[in-house]
Amino acid sequence: MAERWRNTALLVIDMQKDFIEESSMIRVKGGKSIVPNVIRVVELARQHGILVIWVVREHDPRGRDVEIFRRHHYNSDQVGPTVKGTVGAELVDGLIIKEEEDYKIVKTRFSAFFSTNLHSFLQTSGVTNLVIAGVQTPNCIRHTVFDAVELDYPNVTVITDATAAATPEIHTANILDMKNIGVKTPTLHEWSEELA
């Protein structure tokens, strides 16, 4: 089974407490509801020998590496979102990086490919097929997917009910845009049947 999926990697994007927890100022409203499905996607990937890559944001405490529109969250009065080493930068409960098996990419922008070593790591690992889960659909999911398509990854899959946005309408519109450029958009159930 592992041989069949050796060219596939699962990218789990931004499933961090600051993006998911209700108390966070930058939470994605639909994020909490997908946590069980993301946990299941990771379990299925590991069962089938699919490489799990955790894509997370970890920012400078002063916000010097943050997009301009978010810099107001970083000042001397408060700790900004997803600062490296803070609770908010940790993965949500139920998701755990297995250091010996998984890989972690730290990004400071929407796309997992922007100013990271993701593309070179995937190439040296022989990965050509990508499966994507996480938040949020119009930003980090979409930018990563479009970059993957532009980099000629032949098979890109977004698990529709293991990704989320602020509203169902925004989520659906962005899934349609990705589907229109050749991205596969199965539900978790449909993807699990494909693995069987």
Q: If you compute the radius of gyration of the chain from its CA atoms, what whole number of angstroms results?
A: 16
- Which token pair is 73? 């969250």
The pLDDT, as a whole number, for residue 144 is: 98
The pLDDT, as a whole number, for residue 2 is: 62
- Which token pair is 140? 């980090």
Cα 5 to Cα 191: distance, rounded to the nearest angstrom? 13
> 106: part of which helix (H) or strand (E)?
strand 103-107
Q: Do the Cβ atoms of 66 and 25 come closer than 8 Å? A: no
- From residue 66, alpha-carbon distances to 8, 61, 93, 172 in Å are 30, 10, 25, 27
Q: Do the Cβ atoms of 61 and 74 come closer than 8 Å? A: yes
The pLDDT, as a whole number, for residue 196 is: 86
Cα 47 to Cα 168: distance, rounded to the nearest angstrom? 30
Number of structural domains found in the chain = 1
3-state SS assignment for residue 161: strand
Domain, as residue range, for 180: 3-195
CATH number, domain with residue 177: 3.40.50.850
Q: Tell me the whole-structure pTM to 2 decimals.
A: 0.96
Cα 77 to Cα 89: distance, rounded to the nearest angstrom? 18
Q: Do the Cβ atoms of 185 and 57 come closer than 8 Å? A: no
Cα 59 to Cα 65: distance, rounded to the nearest angstrom? 6
- Which token pair is 100? 């010996």
Number of CB atoms found within 10 A of residue 153's CB: 18
Cα 60 to Cα 177: distance, rounded to the nearest angstrom? 33
The pLDDT, as a whole number, for residue 123 is: 98
pLDDT truncated to tens, each residue of the chain (196 aa)?
467 899 999 999 999 999 999 989 899 999 999 999 999 999 999 999 999 999 999 999 888 899 998 888 888 777 889 999 999 999 999 999 999 999 999 999 999 999 999 999 999 999 999 999 999 999 999 999 999 999 999 999 999 999 999 999 999 999 999 999 999 999 999 999 999 8
Reported as half-sphere exposure (CB side, CA atoms, 13 A), residue 139 has a value of 16
Residues 6+ apart with CB under 8 A from 37: 133, 159, 161, 162, 188
